[in-house]
Every structure is written in C-alpha cells, then in structure tokens.
A and B are shown apart, each in its own frame.
Chain A
Amino acid sequence: GENVEQHPSTLSVQEGDSAVIKCTYSDSASNYFPWYKQELGKGPQLIIDIRSNVGEKKDQRIAVTLNKTAKHFSLHITETQPEDSAVYFCAGGYQKVTFGTGTKLQVIP
C-alpha cells in the first residue's frame, strides 16, 4: 500500500515568513495529493489539492508543488499569519488517500 512520509514534524516561523512542508510517497500509481489543516478540536479541513497531471498549483498564499519522478510534493505558505498555526497533513493515493504524520506549524507574532 501507499506510504506517505512528512517532514518536519514541527515548524516555527516568524509572522510574515514562509513555511515549507515536504512529503514523499511510495506508490507510483498515486495521482491525488490533498493537504489538510487541522485546528485544535476540529476535523481536517481541505486547504488545497493537486493531481498528478499538474506540477504546481497556487491559491492566494498557499502553493503546492508535485514532482512525480521523485515522488515528492510540498506545501508552501507565504506571508504567514498567526491564524496559520495548526497541524498540517499531506495525503496521497489512488483509490483512497493515505495521510502523512503531520506537521505542527507555529507562527510567532
């Protein structure tokens, strides 16, 4: 089955700086890669996703990149704000998605 690795497990950045979270996957058949933000006491919230026929996707301050050859994908958050503080999960899969282990992002005001 699919195995998704995620790094780093924790990340602290100053407000206004950028944050980058990286993931790798094992199954070359995987074609869908969503990113979820989980705030305390809440369920995962989809923030952006990318499909394997696209190398990059951007939505305001959030961007994702996908390198199918290397089997890795990344989340980039620019101009971070305190409300970006949360746990972020990458996921990947074909028929179903497998989650990464999560990154706790802290944005320091």
Chain B
Amino acid sequence: EPEVTQTPSHQVTQMGQEVILRCVPISNHLYFYWYRQILGQKVEFLVSFYNNEISEKSEIFDDQFSVERPDGSNFTLKIRSTKLEDSAMYFCASSREGNGNQPQHFGDGTRLSIL
C-alpha cells in the first residue's frame, strides 16, 4: 500500500539555525499538509498546500515557516530560524482531494530537537 515517507526521522539542530524537513507524499495525491505534535499533546494543523500554493495555514505557521514543492515528488517544510519551542514531531500528510472530507494519510514524522 502506498505511503507517505518523511526524512530524516530525527533532526537535531542548534537554536537559530535553519532546518528543512522533507516528505514524499503518495504519488497520486494532490493535497499536502504539515502538522506538529508537541510531546504528549494533540496533533496541530500547520498548513495545507495545493497546486503550488498555500491553501490554508494556522496561527502557528508564522513568517519563520515556509513550504515548497521543489519537484514532482518532494514536499518540504522549512523553519528559518529555529526556536526551542519548535521542538516537536512534525508530520506530513497527503490526500487525493482537499475538500476537507477526504482521508489524509500521514507519514511517521520527523522528530525535531532544538538545542
């Protein structure tokens, strides 16, 4: 069964440094998402992306965050200047359609640790 893959599984970065998290969504999916999960807490929506544009973003997704689909397969989340509170699991998800009532399939996440 096709799946969403994320790399790296664990990223350790110094505070203030830039970090890029990578995702390969399911190949025939058109909508892509990033979520964040702080340890022991719920999954929080960051951003959705379709047709090379952000379709929706949350309050968490401020100017330090950006997303990009640099080629036909990868979907990236960049944090420009990391802060301690950015430490969390980051999950990428994709769905075939994006009208809000289609299943989103998640990757296994990247654990981001900011030192």
A61 at the interface (CB under 8 A from B): no
Q: Write out the residue numbers on chain A whose beta carbons fall within 8 Å of the beta carbon of B113.
A: none
The 4 closest A-B pairs by CB, nearest first: A32-B101, A43-B106, A95-B100, A99-B43
**Cβ–Cβ contact B108 & A89, under 8 A:** no
**Cβ–Cβ contact B100 & A101, under 8 A:** no
5 additional contacts (CB under 8 A) given A32-B102, A36-B106, A42-B108: A32-B101, A34-B104, A42-B109, A44-B91, A100-B42
Closest A residue to B98 by beta carbon equals: A95
Q: Count how many chain B residues have C-beta atoms less than 8 Å from C-beta atoms of the other chain.
A: 22
**Cβ–Cβ contact A99 & B44, under 8 A:** yes
Name B's interface SS: loop
**Cβ–Cβ contact B103 & A43, under 8 A:** no
B105 at the interface (CB under 8 A from A): yes
**Cβ–Cβ contact A93 & B100, under 8 A:** yes
Query: Assuming A89-B43, A98-B45, A101-B42, is B106 touching A45 (CB within 8 A)?
Result: yes
Chosen A-B contacts, 11 in total, with CB atoms closer than 8 Å, are A32-B101, A34-B103, A36-B106, A42-B108, A43-B4, A45-B106, A89-B42, A89-B43, A96-B48, A97-B104, A101-B42
Name A's interface SS: strand
Q: Write out the residue numbers on chain B whose beta carbons fall within 8 Å of the beta carbon of A96.
A: 45, 48, 56, 100
**Cβ–Cβ contact B100 & A94, under 8 A:** yes
B107 at the interface (CB under 8 A from A): yes
Q: Count how many chain A residues have C-beta atoms less than 8 Å from C-beta atoms of the other chain.
A: 24
**Cβ–Cβ contact B42 & A97, under 8 A:** no
Return A21 CB to nearest CB of chain B, in Å: 14
Q: Write out the residue numbers on chain B whose beta carbons fall within 8 Å of the beta carbon of A44.
A: 43, 91, 106
B99 at the interface (CB under 8 A from A): yes
**Cβ–Cβ contact B104 & A46, under 8 A:** yes
